[in-house]
Structure 1
């Protein structure tokens, strides 16, 4: 077996085993260096030769580039992953990740094994980052942002240039502490830690990089994430917002908002995935071919169907009012096929912000419509979680329940069968009043039970 030797102030070890060269320096003693060699030999026996150059010769930034090209094509939400990984590539002055929607066929060809194939969503390339033109009105703001982010980028640069095998938990803790001092939110810190944890796990399991017995990102201390949001829109608030949106120049925004409240859909589902051909008018179903949690069928009430009919009629009317032929054909095509809501999330967010400000509605976001709708249907269907999950598309009871926000004040009204006032009731909820409904014949009231005892 190779023997350790002094190199500078520390000890080093160099040897070959099963065709793999092993080298590392900086040990405090010869015994620790030789223990490291034996450990690497055991890892080679167990997992085989590591992929690429191995963790001792590969900088984190280079490994992240390889990881992105290997894993991101098959992640639906890879845009967020790419943004986080690009922080490290940018800090190391390397080409950044660019994603393009994958245009090829994701289905397997002849000879494909009878298992569920990995669906490819993106084509991943590495490109030199273009110089961004910053408007004069934003220069001061962007300069202040860059100044606040400078310590974090410096910490990322130090980490990105380290060899993967040298990275320990305390290195990652140093980065997390710098992010805390810079004022980054607990959610942002948690997501970055999760990204690094996925990378180290992939390196261990797929690349056979055995430099770490324990994933160094799994033991990192991160601040507790408190992102539970309970905001719902009351009937009076929603009516004021709708009144403002009715004056907005974007033809799609008001129908989109009404549709989201009626169906409890995420904003991405009607904007990015809903097509006219997906509407089954007879079954009252919207078939989403894809969504955050995969394809699903959205139940459509008569109100939701009327919203779609009114939108189609409005598009046809708009086609009759324009003079240029190409514009008329564009509006007619929008009413006949293709995407139902031809707008963007940014356009929706801007319209919602303007309308809420004009209506005097504070602290409200478009996603609050989904929470409002889930709460409304929970009240309407007496808390039937199976019905709520079918409407919202949630896979688990826990996630569906998180979107139902029934306050103690609402419950107090329901206990006495009182009608909910407009400034308390979730938007569009059916508010009933009057005497309690009769009990089924096989159920005794408390008074009847006491008399029979």
Structure 2
């Protein structure tokens, strides 16, 4: 049994696994609890794949962790999936047999999460994980079981964000990021605005990925596993030239450091409801304007596999809409200017 105690503003986890003492410190109580739970569940201990003989005794908890071990390494969101599995262990029924779980269990979890104010996308991801586990257990482990999670309706997908960085916010944000003790958050944000790279793509970017002569970046490891080339604007080249090249990575910092710096910068700048990913939205919206709304070209830069996703970044400005409306008005009155010729 793990023990958690507060020590100097931190939370220390102490536990014993197989006679070995483990101690680790975290910045929040929630992170400490999640770590303790994952270790006690044997996340770091190898387990064998369930067999048909073990089906009646296989709990949903065991199925989740076995699924994660076998599939997690092949996914981009392995960290997020682990967090969802840990979060699912707040429910007592997770320790029941996979055959004992009913749609009622899944439905009650969905309704409880929504009542707590969790976003529709978060609830959908939790339910999708459960659906995937049951599907994997049937197709890969050969278990003769149903899929109770698939019988429960998911919440409606949330309205896509359309938050853009205002001109007044840009200057305040860059000033605040420039006040960070680490030198990299500010140029990382600047390059994101110029290229539309995702946060993970920025942090994984290496100097060898950049073709300075041609002015392009070759992204080998992307969210959808499809490599792509992204053009560099003149401003992007200037940002890169100002960075030191004392590491293989262009931005040799961790994700947690970047998130913390971002949060502090927003507070200093007095900016609300702005996420790092909104920088990508702003960048692609600007690219869309310069490309004349050509979603096919925009998709090559953004890496989206469907034009529907690229269409989210096509924002016609008010003057363009008024001009188009005037054209349609003239076309509608065209008969007034026609002369009949017999």
Q: Aligned partners of 1:336 and 1:183: how far apart in 2?
A: 45
Equivalent residue, structure 2, for 1:285: 216
Identify the range of structure 1 (386-395 vs 52-61) with the bigger mean alpha-carbon deviation: 52-61
Q: Aligned partners of 1:237 and 1:412: how far apart in 2?
A: 23
Equivalent residue, structure 2, for 1:62: 62
Q: Is the 8 A contact 1:276 1:336 kept in 2?
A: no
Shift, 1:385, TM fit: 0.7
**Segments ≥4 residues shifted beyond 4 Å:** 445-453
Shift, 1:262, TM fit: 0.4
Equivalent residue, structure 2, for 1:355: 265
Trace 1:44-443 onto structure 2 (pairs within 5 A).
Answer: 51-88=51-88, 91=89, 153=90, 156-157=91-92, 159-212=93-146, 215-271=147-203, 273-294=204-225, 295-311=227-243, 315=244, 335-404=245-314, 406=315, 410-412=317-319, 415-416=322-323
Change (3 A) 1:168 1:375: same
Change (3 A) 1:391 1:195: same
Q: Aligned partners of 2:281 and 2:339: how far apart in 1?
A: 44
Give secondary structure in 1 for the equivalent of 2:267. Answer: helix
Shift, 1:222, TM fit: 3.5
Shift, 1:398, TM fit: 1.1
Q: Is the 8 A contact 2:165 2:279 kept in 1?
A: yes
Q: Aligned partners of 2:131 and 2:211: how far apart in 1?
A: 43
Q: Aligned partners of 1:161 and 1:350: how far apart in 2?
A: 35
Q: Aligned partners of 1:242 and 1:307: how far apart in 2?
A: 13
Q: Aligned partners of 1:293 and 1:342: how far apart in 2?
A: 23
Identify the range of structure 1 (294-303 vs 258-267) with the bigger mean alpha-carbon deviation: 294-303
Give secondary structure in 2 for the equivalent of 1:287. Answer: strand
Shift, 1:366, TM fit: 1.6
Equivalent residue, structure 2, for 1:7: none
How many matched pairs?
Answer: 283
Change (3 A) 1:217 1:284: same
Change (3 A) 1:411 1:264: same
Q: Is the 8 A contact 1:64 1:85 kept in 2?
A: yes
What CA deviation, in whole Å up to 9, does each residue of 1:248-287 have, x standing for no partner? 332112211111000011111111x211111111111111
Give secondary structure in 1 for the equivalent of 2:229. Answer: strand
Q: Aligned partners of 1:287 and 1:341: how far apart in 2?
A: 16
Shift, 1:178, TM fit: 3.2
Shift, 1:451, TM fit: 6.6
Q: Structure 2: where are the runs of 5+ without partners?
A: 1-49, 325-329
Give secondary structure in 2 for the equivalent of 1:375. Answer: helix
Q: What is the CA RMSD across the aligned residues, in angstroms? A: 2.7
TM-score, normalization by structure 1: 0.57
TM-score, normalization by structure 2: 0.74
Which one has the largest radius of gyration?
1
